[in-house]
A = this chain, B = another copy of it.
Amino acid sequence: MAGSELTNVKSPRVKAAKRLAKRAFRERDRAFLAEGPQAVREALASPGVVTELFTTAEAEVRHADLVEAARAAGVPVFGASGEVMAELAQTVTPQGVLAVCRFVHVPLAEAVPDGTELVAVLTHVRDPGNAGTVLRTADAAGAGAVVFTDASVDPYNGKCVRASAGSLFHLPVVTAAPVAATVAHLKSAGLRVLAADGAGTNTLDDVDLSGPAAWLFGNEAWGLPKEVLDLADEVVRVPVYGRAESLNLATAAAVCLYASARAQRTAPANGPAAR
């Protein structure tokens, strides 16, 4: 490995990977970067996703399992000097492993078949850290899919990939979906479309959440635009019991998604209807 270590930040391979920090290049190459052992591990667990692995000498020892998994899968592994890793990584203290990955998103109809119970839809979410956190939370809450509409941030943005903590590789993700067509498909797949917005007259506490549901989450500052609210079956707000004006987006999404997950799981056996 030492002999083949990449030490030149201007080498074509390093430059080709580095430019994936920019959306235009990601879209051209249909590829993105996953940084750090957790993301790389999850990416390697999805066959055919990782096309190149970069690792520092130190990380090659510390994360020998990842290097071995990559080699076993026929993924080329490149040693990288600390300088090269710092050039490729987007974090201040890079963890020494970084994968070039193929796009993983799927078409909406494939991500949300009939019978899907829970879906998160990000419309107009602009902060990639928030988007990644919602993706991670949706995964934890057992969602069947996460949809990024065409007005939302790119799920392959490095900050989003990192905030998702591997969840980008766990469940079907749809990207650049037009919102009206998305809502139409969700409804036809049997999901109730709930818009999470402070404009809702009903709160989470008032709504029966036991059935299949898709949640629409909007912009960090201004929520959902009227035309999106109008598409939903219901506009629901997270109740604020104290003096806070609102919740932050990722927090509100967590409360909504977990309220649905809990109601869906407790409904059949011992839910409100049975009590």
Contacts and interface: CB of A to CB of B under 8 A. Distances in A.
A243 interface: yes
B136 A170 contact: no
A265 interface: yes
A205 interface: yes
Contacts of A245: 38, 165-166
A125 to B, nearest CB: 15
A252 B171 CA distance: 20
Given A166-B245, A241-B142, A255-B255, A262 B205 contact: yes
A137 to B, nearest CB: 5
A139 B244 contact: yes
A238 B140 contact: yes
Contacts of A136: 244, 247-248, 251
Contacts of A167: 242-244
Contacts of A238: 140, 258
B170 A242 contact: yes
Contact of A255 (B138, B244, B258): B258
Interface string A58-99: 000000000000000000000000000000000000000000
Nearest to A275: B275
A140 B242 contact: yes
A275 B270 CA distance: 9
A97 to B, nearest CB: 17
Given A140-B238, A275-B275, A254 B244 contact: no
A202 interface: no
A153 interface: no
DSSP class of A's interface residues: helix, strand, loop or mixed? helix
Contacts of A141: 241-242
Contacts of A7: none
A137 B242 CA distance: 9
Contacts of A241: 140-142, 261, 265
Contact of A246 (B140, B163, B275): B140
B255 A205 contact: no
A262 B245 CA distance: 18
A216 interface: no
Contacts of A239: 261
A270 to B, nearest CB: 7
A133 interface: yes
8 contacts: A133-B248, A133-B251, A137-B248, A139-B243, A141-B241, A166-B244, A250-B251, A259-B262
Given A137-B251, A170-B243, 6 more contacts: A38-B245, A137-B244, A138-B242, A139-B244, A251-B251, A255-B258
